Every structure is written in structure tokens, then in C-alpha cells.
Structure 1
Amino acid sequence: MTQLWFAMAVLTVIAMGFVFVPAWRNRETLETAEDRRHQNVDIFRERLSELEQERDNGNLDESDFESLKTELERNLLIDAEEPEQAAAPVKLNTQTRVTIALLALLIPAISIGLYSKLGRSADLELAMNDPFQGRQPTMEEAVSELERQLGRNPENAEGWFLLATSYLNMARYDESVTVLEKVLKLLPPDAPQYPGVIAQYAQAIYFANGSQMDEAVMTQVEKALSLDPYEITALGLLGISAFEQGEYETAITHWRKALTNAEGASEQSLLSGIRSARDRLVELGKPVPDLPELVEASIPVQVTLSEALKASVSPEQTVFVFARPVGGRMPLAAVKLTVADLPVALVLDDTLAMNPQMTLSSVTEVEVSARISVAGQPQAQPGDMFGVISPVAVHGLTKPLDLVIDQVVE
């Protein structure tokens, strides 16, 4: 917070400068103009004295003397008027100086008053203050600090929700329930986050009750789904309840509906649940519904090296086999081999994803390539050898792709 007040002080000094500097410059302008007038008068008197001496010595007649004297007087008047027209300084009396001083003092007073009313100093202090001094805190330390901050800013609904989620992850279920009740009081019912918070509240009650789907949990689940029929957490709880009761078809229905808005870890968790329910149905000999979301992408590939390039490689050199989105750069599946492994048959599928959220199943077509890296780096460099096939469908391949490394990176 010290940095904030220092910055405000610097800005205040700058603002006061906008008041005092013009006044100071005005004073300097007045003094400069006054000095110039005195100098002009002195020059006029000196030149007039010279003219009078020339006249007395007989070097000037009376008419020339009067003419030159008139010219000197005219120049003196012009010089006296020019500074006033150019600078137009304003004389500062005592009252004006007092007004400027008061205005300068009011600048910081008004600024601080407005900031205290309209600013967010508490939030800024939280952002600028690092209680852990750059050290990665433990979960307990982070939660303790969050509790302290919320004690200073109790109207922060987002902060309370984060605390409730932390409690849930730490198996402090009763405390999570209490905090989520507080969040629901702070959030307006028309807030877009409201259905999700209700669903989290239902989940906290569910775990606090020993993972039992009772009436209190169902009431909150139904409330959440009445606001958002595709709320992931609420549908997930319904699926869990159905699965535990052996109603596997119903569980699959709830979880498939939740997939509509799911992504990342939530999507993978739902797919895992659907897969488990499907397997139970198979074990029981019951009909299994069509589940296209469980059809995993796979691309069988046969990688070989062309005869023309065999003399240019060594057995220990690295071979990368990639499947990328057509026109994209990030691999959806990758395998690292050596030249000694060639020729090789392999299958590219979701288990080879570099990122769980970016898999072959997330697209319909890919570009499949294999590259021998001279430097052993994933990025292509001049001299690397490669082969590529594009586009390739990620589903439905019955025969392996014949991928030949037969080109050189220029």
C-alpha cells in the first residue's frame, strides 16, 4: 500500500505544479517586462543626451534635432507597448495569491476524498501485497490468507465462493455448506453464476451427508436445473445417484446431457462415468445405447524411410510422429522414436495426447507426419527429413496409413 500512496503523492505534486508553475511564470513575465521598460527608458535618455550634445556642437540643426527626438520618443512608446501585448501578464495581488494557494491545497484533499469514496483501495492493496513474499504457499496457508482478506471485504461473493470450493477440496464439507449459503445471499438470483452456485451447494450437502442423495440435496439440484437444465454439477449428481442405485441407463442419460456444456477435466470425468455405466450394462447383458462420444479416435500408421534417404541418417537420430489439426501446429497425438526403430507400425489415439483437452477425438480430420530431426528438436529445421499425409479422418480407418519419410526440409 506504501507504493500506492507514494504514487498518489507524486501525482499530487505534479497536479499542484499545474497551479503554481503558471503563477510563477506570470510573476517572472511581469518582472521581465518591467526590467525591459527600464532599459528602454535608459537607452532613450542616453540617445537623447547624445542628440543634444550633437546639436550643441553644431553638428545638428534644430529641425533635424526635433525630428530625431520625435523618432526616439515614438520608438520608446512602441517598445513599452510590445511586452504588454505579447505576454499579457496579470498582476497578482494578495487575494489572488491566497486563492491559488488554497486551490493547490484542495487538489490533494479532494483527490483523497474522491478516492476513498469511489476507489477500490482494499482490492488494490490485496493485489499489491504479497504476504508470502514470492513463496508458493501451502493449501492451508492460502486458505488462511483468503479468510483474512474476506474478513476485511465480507461482500466479496467471488472470494467466498473460492473459499467454499477450497473447503470442499479439503473435505471440510460442513464449512463449505455454510460459506455457500453466504454466497447465495450475496448473489442476486438473476446472476448468471447463480445456478452453478446452487449446484455446488447441493454437492457440498451431498458430501457433508456422507455422499447420500437425500431430500435436501434433491431440492437444490432441482432448483439449479430449473434455472439451467444443462447445469453440469447438478446433472453429475443425478447421474451418480442413478449409478449407485444400479440405474445405469438413467445415469448415462444424465451424464450425456451434462456433456453439452462440459469441457476439459469435467468432460473427461463425465466420459469416464458414461464408460463405466456402459461396461456395467455389458456385464449384465443389457442393451447398450448408441454412444458416439465413446468412439475413440485412432489412426493406424506404418512409418518407413525411403531408400534414397537411408544413407543420410544414423540409427540414433530422433524420429517424431505427429497428428495435428489440418492447418494447425499443436500436435493432438505424438510419438518419439529413433531411426533404428524404422520401419514401425503404431496407432495414434487419444492416449498419446500432449494435452488432455486437445485430443484426436476433438476433431474430424488431421494431418499425419513423421520427421527425422537432425538436432533432435520437435521444431523443424533445415536438413530434417519428413513425410506427410493430409487430410486423414480420425475415425473409420481399417488399414494403416503408409507414411514414407522421403522429403528434406529446405
Structure 2
Amino acid sequence: MAGLWTGIALLTLCALGIVLLPLLRARRLQQLEVAEDRDRQNIDIYRERLSELEQEKAQGNLAQAEFDELKLELERSLLQDVGDSEARLQVSKISGLQVLTVSVMALLLVISALGLYAKLGSAPRLELALERQAQPDPFEGRSPTLEEALARLEHELEVTPENVEGWYLLATTYMGAGRYDEGIAAFRQVLDRLPEDAPQYTGVMGQYAQALYFANDGKMNTEVRAQVNATLERNPSEMTALGLLGIDAFEQQRYAESIDFWSQALGQADPTAAESLKAGIRRAQQELRALGEPVPDIPGIEAAEIRLAVRLAEGLGSSLSPDQAVFVFARPVGGRMPLAAVRLKVSDLPLEVVLDDTQAMTPQARLSGVEEVEVGARISLTGTPEPKPGDLFAILSPVSVRGQTQALDLVIDQVVE
């Protein structure tokens, strides 16, 4: 940063020179012009007086000696006047008004330069860029703590407050850490800077309403409801706002209304949020059934789960150790990677097993992401998930992941060749 300010100082001096030198030069030229005019007038007077003397001499009014003496005096006077002009020019100084003018112009130049830099430039941004260049990894290869990451992001947003993505990341991080008031303030920054016609705008409005809701101990109040209504006026199918209305209706035992709100939100939900909404709808349906009230039929909200009654075929258990591993799984038809799997022991059989998204191998590969699967069970003689010759297994395919009311009978009776 020292180099920046040194450069600014040098450029300011150059600018002052460009502005002030012409002013001083103009003063000098003005003095020269005045001196030249005065000399020209003195010469004209000299010539006029010399002409009068010559006329007097021609008329016989002056003798030659008198003429020569008067002419010599005229020449001396002319030389003295011209010399005085040059001396005055040499010793002339800058006037007080000129000093004031130059000082005011220099001050205005510096102030205007600093004002333009404050408007168009950014020393803090340059400093941040230099920091990043000098230290690309401020955490020296280790994973930062939440507080360290937040402090770093807060510092960058102080320097670049127009960074909408940064404010959004800060807001969601605050919310995840339970710092709801700070999350609210960060969401406001996002809404202030994000164009209202941006496709993400109503989504942020819904998240802002959710932040207000959490900050109010998970209760609906006038402020939260106003924000929810403002969000739905812009986008009637905004998922977060509809989800909040569904939660509020459920807590007030208006179960049919909560189902309606959550059903509307399903159309905009990602897979993870969709499963949460479906779980809420199923719970509201259970409450309605318990009250003996009509239950709305919502297609596609059945839980993605498969019930299996796993058992050994007769005559196989005697040759197996009770501690040998039993893998029960569901995978895409014709696929290899399980969508859900559990590990049992031979001693656990027979057993009824439920496969669902809680046993997913990865967040991206889930049972709820497909309509049909093949299910299987395998007793591993080596204890490894990979099938080996001699392992015992059973397979059922295809099996629907929804709408199942009874456990499927899965009998382990085959041998891996």
C-alpha cells in the first residue's frame, strides 16, 4: 500500500505542476507585455520630442550645440526608462491575490482527486487483492473453524459490500449456526443488492421470512406473516413461504390446510426438501385419520420404503456360523450400487427389515429417487460386501419402492457360482 500512496503523491505533484505552471507563466507573459507597451510608449515620446527639436533647429531657434545637448538628454531619458522597466520586471513578485488563487486551486485539485478516488477507486480492495496474492491460503492447508471462515467472509464483505453471493453465503452460514439475528441482517443485505427481477429474488424473500420465523422461536407473528404474504404475492408457489404456512397450520391442528400448503410447495422442492414435505403430509394425514376426518389423497407422497421378511431356506442354517455377515440391499434394476443396505448376522434371521432413504449409501443415490428396484440378501462367507463363490443369496426383481402394505418374503436359497 505504501507504493500506492507514493504513486498518488507523485501524480498529485505532477497535476499541480500542470495546473500551476501555466498560471505562473501567464503572469510572466502579462508582465512582459506591460513592459513592452511602456517601452513602446517611451520610444514614441522620444521620437516625437526629437522631431520637435529638429524643427526648432531648422527654424533657427536652436543652435547646434543646444540641439546636441537636448538630444543627448532625450537619449539618456529613454535609456533610463527602458532600464527601469527591465528592473521592475526582474524584481516583480507574485502578488498576494495570486498566491491565494494558486493555493485555492491546489487545494481544490487535491480534494477533487481524493473525492474521485473515493468514488471510483478502492484502496481496501487493492489491499485485499494484495493479501490474497501474498497469502493464497490464509489457513495454511488446514480446514478453518466456523468462526475463522465467518471472520474471513465478513472481512471480505466489508471491502466488497456489493458481493451478493458473499452476503447470501454469510446469511445461510449464520442460519446454520443458529445466529438468526445476524442471518436476518445478512438476508436484508442480499435483498437490498439483488435486482428485484432476478429469478432468485423471491427465493431469498422466502428464506428471509424463514429467518424471521426462527428468530421468533419458531412462531408466526405479524412480521413473519407479512413477509410470507409479500413473498407469495410475487411467487404464489414459493416453497419456503408455503412450507412456513404449512408448519403454522399443523401446529394449530389445521391439518387439512397444512397438507394443502405442503402439497403446493412440493412442485418447487428439490429431492431433499421434497422428502421432508412428504413426511409432513403423511404425518398430517395420520392426524386426520386419528380424528376420524376425511384424508386428502395426495398422489406420490407414499414413503419410499420396502419391507422384507428375510429368512434362510430350510437346511442351510446348520452349515453356517451365527456371526457370518448377512447383507440386505436394494439397488436399481440391473445396477450394482446399492441405494439402501443394512448388515445383519446369521443369528438375526429370520427378521423383518425395512429399507428406506436413511440407509442410503450417498445423498445422491437414494431409494426415493427411483420407482422400482431389485432387492436381495446375501450371506458372505468372507465377510466382505463383494460376492464371492460359495456365498448364499436371494434376489427379487422388480419391486416397487412405494405403496407396499405387506412385507415381501425373501428366502436365501441360492449359491454364488
Name the TM tier (shorter chain). Answer: 0.5 to 0.7
Q: Give 1:346's match in structure 2, choosing from 349, 352, 355.
A: 352
In the other structure, the counterpart of 1:233 is 240
Note if contact 1:323-1:369 (Cα within 8 Å) is conserved in structure 2.
Answer: yes
Note if contact 1:302-1:345 (Cα within 8 Å) is conserved in structure 2.
Answer: yes
In the other structure, the counterpart of 1:168 is 175
In the other structure, the counterpart of 1:92 is none
Q: Secondary structure at the match of 2:196?
A: coil
Q: Which amino acid aligns with 1:389?
A: L
Note if contact 2:239-2:266 (Cα within 8 Å) is conserved in structure 1.
Answer: yes
Change (3 A) 1:174 1:397: closer
Note if contact 2:195-2:201 (Cα within 8 Å) is conserved in structure 1.
Answer: yes
Matches within 5 A, 1:19-30: none
Aligned-pair CA distance for 1:126: 8.5
Distance 2:221 2:385 in 1: 53
Note if contact 2:256-2:284 (Cα within 8 Å) is conserved in structure 1.
Answer: yes
Q: How many residues align?
A: 289
Q: Which amino acid aligns with 2:355?
A: D
Unaligned stretches of 5+ in structure 2? 1-125
Change (3 A) 1:317 1:208: closer
**Which deviates further from its counterpart, 280-289 or 369-378?**
280-289
Distance 1:167 1:235 in 2: 22
Higher alpha-carbon Rg: 2
In the other structure, the counterpart of 2:342 is 335
Distance 2:405 2:248 in 1: 38
Matched, 1:182 2:189: yes
Distance 1:323 1:124 in 2: 51
Aligned-pair CA distance for 1:185: 2.1
Identity of aligned residues (%): 49
Note if contact 1:389-1:403 (Cα within 8 Å) is conserved in structure 2.
Answer: no
Q: Which amino acid aligns with 2:205?
A: I
In the other structure, the counterpart of 1:17 is none
Q: Give 2:147's match in structure 1, choosing from 140, 143, 148.
A: 140
Aligned residues: CA RMSD: 3.3
Q: Secondary structure at the match of 1:249?
A: helix
In the other structure, the counterpart of 1:378 is 385
In the other structure, the counterpart of 2:311 is 303
Matched, 1:277 2:318: no
Change (3 A) 1:281 1:314: closer
Q: Secondary structure at the match of 2:398?
A: strand
In the other structure, the counterpart of 2:99 is none
Distance 1:228 1:212 in 2: 23
Q: TM-score, normalised by structure 1?
A: 0.61
Q: Give 1:125's match in structure 2, choosing from 106, 110, 132.
A: 132
**Which deviates further from its counterpart, 169-178 or 235-244?**
169-178
Distance 1:399 1:150 in 2: 56
Q: Deviation per CA, 1:102-151, whole angstroms, max 9, x where unpaired?
A: xxxxxxxxxxxxxxxxx9x9499389733222333332222112101222
Distance 1:253 1:155 in 2: 39
Q: Which amino acid aligns with 1:256?
A: S
Q: Secondary structure at the match of 1:164?
A: helix
Q: Which amino acid aligns with 1:297?
A: E
Q: Deviation per CA, 1:356-390, whole angstroms, max 9, x where unpaired?
A: 66554443321112222232111223443333221
In the other structure, the counterpart of 1:223 is 230
Matches within 5 A, 1:193-208: 193-208=200-215
Unaligned stretches of 5+ in structure 1? 1-118
